[in-house]
Structure formats: C-alpha cells, structure tokens
Structure 1
Amino acid sequence: MRQSAPRFPDGAASRAVLIGCSDFADIDLPAIPAVKSNLTDLRSALTDQPHGILPPEHCRVLADPADHRSVGMALAQAAREAEDLLLVYYTGHGLLDEDGLLHLALSSTDPGHVGFTGVPADLVKRYLGRARARLRVLVLDCCFSGRAVAAMTESGSLLSAQLDVSGTYTLTSTTATAPSHAPPGQRHTAFTAALLDALNQPEPLTLDDIHQHIDTVLHGMGLPRPQRRSVNAAGDLALVRGPVQPHAGPPTGSEGEIRFRKAPPDPPARSRGDLIQAVLMIAVPCALAVLFGGWRMTLIGAAAITLFLGLVLLTLLLRRDIHHDLVVNSDGLGTEHGAHSAHVPWKDVECVGVLRRAPGTLVVPNVLIVRLKADAPHPPGFHKKLNQRLPDRRYVVAGMLGTYGADPMRLRSAIEHFAGGIYRTDQQLLEMDPRLR
C-alpha cells in the first residue's frame, strides 16, 4: 500500500554504483552464482527506458572486484559527480571482524583477516558522507546486513557512527544475526528478487513502499525480514518511474539432488598415454633383466616382472573407468565408487564441514568430514584409512574433495540447501574439537 507520494531524482545529477561478488578464493566463502544476475537485472531496472531513473552511463557495475582500489575509485568518482542521488548497492557476503565491525567481502577476502581483506563499512560511509548528493541510498544484500540498522539504535554503537549519514536511506536484506538467502538454481537472491518485483509494480513505489513490499514477500516465504533506517525523510524517494520487467529466470524448483563427479580425461590423450606407459613398463624390466640378470634368468625374470606390472597396469586402467560420485540430496550425504556406496542420513548428522587437511596428516587437503549425533549409528563404507585417524566414532571422513572434483563453495551451498545450517568452516570445526588438528 502506498505510504506517500513518490518523488523522483534528477537522473542527470544522480549516480549509482552496484557492487557484487559471486566467486571467492577462500574455501569458507561459498560462491553465490545469483549475484551476477542481481547486478545485471538491477542495472537494467534502474536504466530502463522509459521508466528507469538513470541513464546507463550513470550506473556503474563492479562485478567480482578483487581489491579495495577499484571499489574506492568507483565510490570516489560517484561521490564527486552525484548532486541529487547517490545509490550504492552491494550483494555478496557480509563479514564481521573481531570488533564486530561490518565488512563487505571481495573475491580475495580472507575470513580470518577480514579487517585487512574486506571493504569496511566505514569506507562506504566516508564516501557517502563526502558526496554532494542531497540523498544517499545504501542497499546491502548480504549476511549480517541488519547490523547496519539494528546496531545503530544502540547508544554509542560503532556501526551507528559508521552508517548514520545525514540524508541516507539504508535498506538491508536481513536482520542483525540471520544469514541472507540465495536459493540454489534460482536467478536472484531472495532479497534482490523481491526488490526487482517491487520495481516492476504497476505504480512506482517509494523506498518505504519497497521495504514494505520486500518484507511481505520474504516474511511470506519464512525468511528473515529486511531492515531499514531513514534519516531526514528519504523514504518518499522512488527508484523507477513505472514498471520495469527483469529478465526471465530459470524455473524456481529446487534440484532433487546435486552430484559431484570428476570429469574424465580426454579419451584420445588418455589412450596415447596408456600405450606409452604400457610400452615402458614392459621394455624397462626386460632391459634391466638382460643387463643385470644374465642370459639364463632373462626370459623368466622379464616374464615375471612384465606379468606383475601388466596386472598393475590393468588394475589402474579398470579403476580409471570407475566413477567416483559425491551425492547431496534431501535424504543425506553419500558417495558412490563403482559398485560400492556409502550414505549417512541428515537425521544422524550433527554438523558437516571441510577440513583443510586430514586429521593427523600434513598432505591430504580439503577433507569432507561429518560429525554424527551422539546416539547415531556409525555408517559403513566410507574412507577406512582416514577414518582410523579420527578422534572417535562420532566422526566420519566422507572423502577428499579432489576425488570427486567437488568445488568446495558449491558443495557448501548444496549442503545448506538440503540440510540447513549444519555446515561448519575449518576454523569452527577445529574450535569445536581441537583433536581434529
């Protein structure tokens, strides 16, 4: 329902900077594929002809910026040029440092050193504060983004000092403690999908109307509710002059399962390699037998060695044709190695995560580990040798990610999609049980 009559900014005197990070170098920051569509479709809406408020050249998009410099330069330029409206939008991961200060993750951000590798909210505040624009709009679609609103109501809050800028409207995707939602397989994150839907209404909505529309949509989906804070009555500003139609996305139904399988080598290259390997394995022992074994033992020794190595080669070739699958679905987590399989149901799982190295080793990276509930039975069929190194039978090593060609960030997204918030980072697993080191 319309709360007030909208007012529209002067497009020629307005600027927008849209920042989004979908891919991250650190294993503890899962990829968010929907970020790319968030940026593309929001820019299309803001610059839509004839209903957008901005000419295309006044809306700058930074997709997967790797460092602070590109972000800072874009914000500084927009702050200098904007006279009526400055809009800053971020979509990606929101992280907190040890002092509880909000940071926006970049592609190279290290969660263990957020203060040095993320973009501090204070940096955004400085550029917003320096802008000549009459109105500043800050939109955050990330986890913990609600802290930019909720924490500002606390007396003496550091975040209040960061984002309490005169003439600023702050709109966030979630509350102070809840994660933001990015459903696998959907074109947009939940918040930005609702934002784009608000911009496509028959009549233009003000920022307060947009917040109410998003709140209705997310609350109806059972998701955390968006937060807002308006300073100096910026809530009657509209971001479009009429309905805009975002690009059509894929069907919203979730996948029945997500399967990880390492891609096989290219067949022609594999055949040539196998032939060369076979020739060498036969020729080398024959030559050694002739050279050191004497003529009497040459034929017998060469035949025995060749037979043995031939059997080894045959075993390796047969194993190459066996698929190694890691399967995540609504029932649980499982592995399939040819005719052998193992499975652990979610009802028996307390938490699951990826250790950077196997317990008690120095050379086995990215190990998928499951912590079972106290009364759960120990599932058979998983990696025996690595499981022998575990502290007790409440743990199960499901396998090494490299065996399945599993992208750790996509794996985390799959687990969170099917099992909820049971995923733990490497650091969280070690803090929970130092014996895993």
Structure 2
Amino acid sequence: MNHSRPRFPDPAASRAVLIGCGVFDDTDLPAIPAVNSNLADLRAALTEDTYGILPPAHCRVLADPADHRSVGMALASAARDAEDLLLVYYTGHGLLDEDGLLHLALSSTDPAHAAFTGIPVDLVKRCLGRARARLRVLVLDCCFSGRAVAAMTESGSLFSAQLEVSGTYTLTSTTANAPSHAPPGQRHTAFTAALLDALNQPTPLTLDGIHQHIDTLLQGAGLPRPQRRSVNAAGDFALARGPVPLCATAPNADAEEIRFREQPHRPPVRSHRETVEAVLWGVGVIALMLLMALFGGWRPVLITGAASTVLAGLALLPHLLRRGVHYDLVVNRDGLGTDHGGHSAHVPWKDIECVGVVRRAPGTVIVANALIARLKAGAPRPQGFRKGLNKRLPDQRYVVIGTLGVYGADPVRLRSAVEHFAGGIYRTDKQLLDMDPRLR
C-alpha cells in the first residue's frame, strides 16, 4: 500500500461527473445491471457527510444518457466550475472503432458505428485538458479502458502539453486489450467494487494507494489488472477522508450467510438464418424418410424414427435433470461450502488455515480462478467437493471449494464475506503462491 500522507481537495472548488450506461437500445450490447449501483454507491461515498470530499450539489450523475449533448454539457459545466478537483468517472461498455480508438457507449450507441454513436474517450480527455482545475482525475470502468492510459503517454501534442501543466491522474479497470468484468447477479462490477472497498479503508488512501489496493484485489482474483497514469504528483491526493460506510460492499453485521449463485442466462434469440437452417434440416430429414419408404418400405422408416427419438431423449435427459437445480457457493458463520441442488459439501472455519483464489498461470496444477482452502495441520479432510477439481492438488492439506465462474462470484464481495465471517484468513493469489510454489 501507499503510505504517503494524502492531500485532500477543497470541496467548494471541486466537481465530479459520474456517467454510467447499463441499458442499451441495441441488442448486441448486453445490459449491465450493476451500473446503477456503481453510480449510486460511488456518489454516496464521495458525498458522505463525515468523510466525503464533495458536497452533493457538486457531484453530477448521468445515468443511461442517450445523446452526446447531455454528456458534453455536464462535462463542460464541471470543467468550467472546478478549480481544485475535476473527477470524471464512466462505467459501461467500452467499444473500439475500425482504427482501434476507444469510445464510451451511450444507451443509443450502435456498436457497428461506435465512432459516430459513442463518446470518443479522446473528447473526454480534451475536456479534462482544457479544465483549469489543478487536479484532473479520469476513472474508466469499461472494456479496453487501458487505451486511455496509453494515449495519455503520447508526447508532442497540444493535448499532452495541456495535461502536463497541472496534476492529472488516469485510473482504468483493465488493460488496452482486455475486457472488464461484471459478475452476473452482483451489485457492482468487479473494478468499482474494489474502488469502493478502497474508499472504505480505515486510513485514507491516496490515488496511488487506491490503485495498489484495487490491483491487489483484482490480481488475486485472476482478473485483468487496473492501469494508471500520474502526472505532477497527482497520485498523492485522496478521494475520501476516512472510511465511508459501504454496506453494499460489505455484508450486513447480522448476516448469517452469503450465497453466490450464477444467474441463468437468457436464451439467445434465434436468428433468421438459424430458423431457415432448422427448417431446411427438417425438410431434408422428411425427404430422406420418404425416399426410404419409397425404395425400402415403411419398416426401415419406423426403426429409424424410433432410434432417433431414443437418441434425442438421451441427449436431452441431462439438461432436463439439471433444470431448476441451483449451484451455490455458501459463506456463513460455520464455514465455507457448496450447495448443488441438495448435494452439499462443507469445511468449517476451525479447520481452515487460510483461503484465497488462485488464478491460472503457466504450468498450474489448479483450474483457473479456483477458490482454495489450506487446512490446518491435523484437520480432517472434508468430503463431497468435486473430485475433478481436487485430483491434482500438491497434498491433502488443500481443498478446492469451486471456481468463481461456476457461481458467478464477485471476487471482491467474496473476499469481504470471508473476512466478515472468518477474519483475516484471506490470502491473495501472490500470497498463496509465495507460501507454496507447488500451487503454480
């Protein structure tokens, strides 16, 4: 963590614009339900009565804007009024045009024409460059957001020179070529959940400290690492004066358990082409059966039809049996476990030395993003966890509880749940590998 003494902006001379798009007109852009919570909870943290850095009137929220005009006017107004801090935050989809330039999606954006229907990130950065605020902060929680950092480092342009005049800090959720992560069914996207967790620390973190905190959480969960760019000691500023109450990130004090359950995906809409292919396939099967009846009689047709029905039933049987079965990862006061439609497995906290998520690495012996528990010496090995996940462990002191993807588990909320019920036994990916290199 960064332990330098933080500097705080002047609330009266500071402005923030929080922009988020989670609902889109184009069906090729999936909805991001967590966007609304991202905006609401970040605004609550920044404007919190005791430890926030902004008065509520100085924090503008744009939820699901449909046109460039509303975004442009909000940015221009904030850039004009801010003299100390100008903070711009975006959460939603990041899209690339044909030239690889990053655009921020609006609710009306057409992904096939991102350059004309999205907000170019260069336009947002030019607005920051013209602002007179002594500290400009750009936070992007979207796919390919690292391209904004790469562009910040370009030299020889008027824009680059403008940014060098005063402090500028860019913080992005991922690299230039990687997607961002929005766990289904969770309140926040992974990056913003980690950002809120950073603002909830007992000691205020500087921007560099916030970046390091987010990096530790996301890297430990096997997610893309956040990127940053700091100019003129901008990283010494803080976005909170103390721990802001973030009940949405941490479990309620009286919670008896936290369950992570993968939300069912909506079945894809069948395209016109797929419908035509299905009709042609059916017509072909009928034509084949008529030819068999014409040249070989009806008996082969009946046998073929019966065999096809049996095979189709066998193929559908596993899907029918799984309908309505839930797959839960359970963290409660007693311990850690899984619940798969009546089949459960459990390991108590008293038997666990530490727990963490091991991300996939070259030559790893463990499946990607596996939640793994290291048992205390002499503790009995728990039964019931999937044998396929546990067959390549280095020794019997480890047990793989499950993988984050199966349960749609938000890694930040998972860590908060573990620490809530079991204290400081959570370890990051790096800590687990340093403790036992055999896990690589």
Band of TM-score, shorter chain: 0.5 to 0.7
Q: 1:118 to 1:356 in 2, by over 3 A?
A: farther
Aligned residue in 1 for 2:149? 149
CA deviations over 1:229-262 (Å, ceiling 9, x no partner)? 00111000000100001232688744256165xx
2:10–2:84 Cα contact (<8 Å) kept: yes
Contact 2:6 / 2:205 at 8 angstroms: preserved in 1? yes
**C-alpha deviation, 1:121, in angstroms:** 1.1
Query: How far apart, CA to CA, are the structure 2 residues paired with 1:115 and 1:252?
Result: 42
Equivalent residue letter for 1:258: P
Provide the residue aligned with 2:113 in structure 1. Answer: 113
> What is aligned with 1:372?
none
Name the CA distance, whole Å, in 1 between partners of 2:261 and 2:162: 41
Change (3 A) 1:98 1:214: same
Q: How far apart, CA to CA, are the structure 1 residues paired with 2:269 and 2:160?
A: 36
Q: 1:214 to 1:203 in 2, by over 3 A?
A: same
Instruction: Summarize the Cα distance change of 1:253–1:204 in structure 2 as closer, same or farther, 3 Å threshold.
Output: same
What whole-Å deviation, never above 9, does each CA across 1:180-224 have from its counterpart, x for those lacking one?
A: 000001100000000000000001000000000000000010100
CA contact (8 A) 1:186 1:252 kept: no
| Shift in alpha-carbon separation, 1:13–1:220, aligned structure 2, 3 A | same
Give the RMSD, CA atoms, in angstroms: 3.1
Partner of 2:14: 14
Work out whether 1:102 is the aligned partner of 2:108: no
Q: Report what 1:357 is aligned to.
A: 272
Q: CA deviation at 1:3?
A: 3.5
- The answer to whether structure 1 residue 214 and structure 2 residue 220 are counterparts is no
Distance 1:63 1:167 in 2: 28
Q: Determine whether 1:184 maps to 2:184.
A: yes
Distance 1:219 1:81, change over 3 A: same
| Letter matched to residue 203 of structure 1 | T
TM-score normalised by L of structure 1: 0.59
| Number of equivalences | 284
Q: Distance in 2 between matches of 1:384 and 1:199?
A: 53
CA–CA distance in 1 between the matches of 2:258 and 2:28? Answer: 26
Check 1:189–1:161 CA distance in 2 against 1; reply closer, same or farther (3 A cut): farther
Q: State, as a whole percentage, how many aligned pairs show the same letter.
A: 76
Q: Does 1:81 find its partner at 2:81?
A: yes
1:385 aligns with 2:279: yes
Change over 3 Å in CA distance of 1:13–1:160 after alignment to 2: closer
Counterpart amino acid of residue 272 in structure 2: R
Whole-angstrom distance in 1 between the partners of 2:215 and 2:179: 15
- Which amino acid in the other structure matches residue 358 of structure 1? R
Determine the structure 2 residue equivalent to 1:255.
261
Residues 65 and 154 from structure 1, CA distance in 2 versus in 1: closer, same or farther, beyond 3 angstroms?
same
- Report the structure number with the largest CA radius of gyration: 1
| Distance (whole Å) between structure 1 residues aligned to residue 283 and residue 117 of structure 2 | 34
Maintained 8 Å contact 1:139/1:172 = yes
Cα separation, 2, equivalents of 1:354 and 1:156:
49
Residue 60 and residue 82 in structure 1: after superposition, are their counterparts in 2 closer, same or farther (change >3 A)? same
Q: For 2:74, what is the secondary structure of its paired residue?
A: helix
- How far apart are the structure 1 equivalents of 2:22 and 2:283? 36
**Distance in 1 of aligned mates of 2:226 and 2:406:** 24
Q: Is the contact made by 2:18 and 2:39 (CA closer than 8 Å) also made in structure 1? A: yes
Matches of 2:192 and 2:25 in 1, distance apart?
24
Following TM superposition, by how much is the alpha carbon of 1:138 offset from its aligned partner in structure 2, in angstroms? 0.1
- CA offsets per residue over residues 55-98 of structure 1, 9 Å max, x none? 00000000000000000010010011000000000000011111
Tell me which residue corresponds to 1:45. Answer: 45
CA 1:259–1:359 in structure 2 vs 1: closer, same or farther (change >3 Å)? closer
**Residues 105-132 of structure 1: CA distance to partner in whole angstroms, max 9, x if unpaired?**
0000001101110001122122112211
- Hey, what's the Cα distance between the residues in 1 that align with 2:171 and 2:177? 16
Residue in 1 that maps onto 2:56: 56
Cα-to-partner distance string for 1:282-315 (whole Å, 9 max, x where unaligned): xxxxxxxxxxxxxxxxxxxxxxxxxxxxxxxxxx
Cα distance in structure 2, aligned partners of 1:75 and 1:231: 21
Query: Counterparts of 2:181 and 2:151 in 1: how far apart (Å)?
Result: 21
2:116 counterpart letter in structure 1: F
Secondary structure of the residue aligned to 2:9 is: coil
List runs of 5+ in structure 1 lacking aligned partners.
261-325, 327-352, 362-382, 391-397, 399-415, 421-437
Runs (5+) with no aligned partner, structure 2: 252-256, 285-315, 317-403, 409-440
> How far apart are the structure 1 equivalents of 2:42 and 2:263?
30
Work out whether residues 14 and 86 of structure 1, in 8 Å CA contact, stay in contact via their aligned partners in 2. Answer: yes
